[in-house]
Amino acid sequence: MDISKYKIDHNSDLKLSGIKTDQTGQFDSKEDAEKKLVENVQRMTEIQSKLYAQDKYAVLIIFQAMDTAGKDGAIKHVMSGLNPQGTHVHSFKQPSVEELDHDYLWRATKNLPERGLIGIFNRSYYEDVLVVRVHDLIKNQQIPDEFITENIWKDRFRQIRDYERYLFENGIVTIKFFLHISKETQKERLLDRIDDKAKNWKFSAADLTERQYWDDYQRYYQDAINETSTKQAPWYVIPADKKWFARLMISEVIVKTMESLNLEYPTISKQQEEVLKGCKQKLMESKS
């Protein structure tokens, strides 16, 4: 599968409206895609165990999307086979008083995966160039006035690029997904949440309010993705009208990225081998 089709280059002049949300690649059926997803999850499990054993790299996977795009389901399905001890999911909500008392990257840093682990951000510091921009919340962020200029978003994009580069150079590999749905699909899914009793709990009236800002969100997502997709931390725009296709592509990108790290189990030195042999000998000779 060709993941490069969904990868965005830095300053590539991406137009979100030009990316069809209902693509399914070479897959005609959900069944074929689900089979491949199972294979990918298996592969991810193998690589995860090497990641853990090697204890040098960490993988940070960021999910951003409009409401109902399927972040939660994607996280659940794609991560289903992984060792729960090796993964950590953090959801970014409206910042708390304590969080607002810090710079906007503070809460991200606090929740970064440690070496050997896979960390998942359900939303992220990208909210600070998305919802904050849509609703002009910057004045709530306690930043000194002199830094709130017309360049603030450009400045933040640079800060984010620098931050992600710093992470990369310290062994934290960042993969960023934007789950791309159409406005029509969102309408269908919201209606479904109202009509289906079992899904009522997922419906939030606030999602309807945010929906009114659809065009602003699309514009600012486009800007953020263009500005912060880099070699060290690329963005993938995943067509997500068909959830099964989105889940498969996400798993494919994660597998390919982790494979590119060429992880291997640590080997031991001759000296350590001798120590192991000695221990074995002792165990064999012991009475019980």
Residues found near ligand ATP in the complex (CB under 6 A): 67, 72, 92-95, 122-123, 127-128, 131-132, 137, 204
| CB-CB contact of 58 with 118 (8 Å) | yes
Calpha distance 14→256 (Å, rounded): 23
Say how far residue 193 (Cα) sits from the centre of its chain. 25
**CB-closest chain residue to ligand ATP:** 127
Q: What is the DSSP letter of 261?
A: T
93 binds, among Mg ion, ligand ATP, none (CB under 5 to 8 A by kind): ligand ATP
Binding mask 64-103 for Mg ion (x = CB under 5 A): ---x------------------------------------
Kindly state the smallest distance separating residue 265's Cβ from ligand ATP, in Å.
36
Which region among 41-49, 62-70, 129-137, 264-272 touches Mg ion (by CB under 5 A)? Answer: 62-70
User: Nearest distance from residue 98's CB to ligand ATP, in Å?
Assistant: 13
Pairing of strands 235-239, 7-8: antiparallel
Least Cβ distance, residue 104 to ligand ATP (angstroms): 7
The continuous run of DSSP H or E covering 123 comes out as none
* Residues 165 and 173: beta-carbon distance below 8 Å: no
Give min distance, CB of 65 to ligand ATP, in A.
9
Q: Which is nearer to Mg ion, 37 or 246 (CB)?
A: 246
Q: Is 66 left (phi over 0), alpha (psi -120 to 50) or beta?
A: beta
Token digits for 115?
């070496």
Q: Which residues bind Mg ion (CB under 5 A)?
A: 67
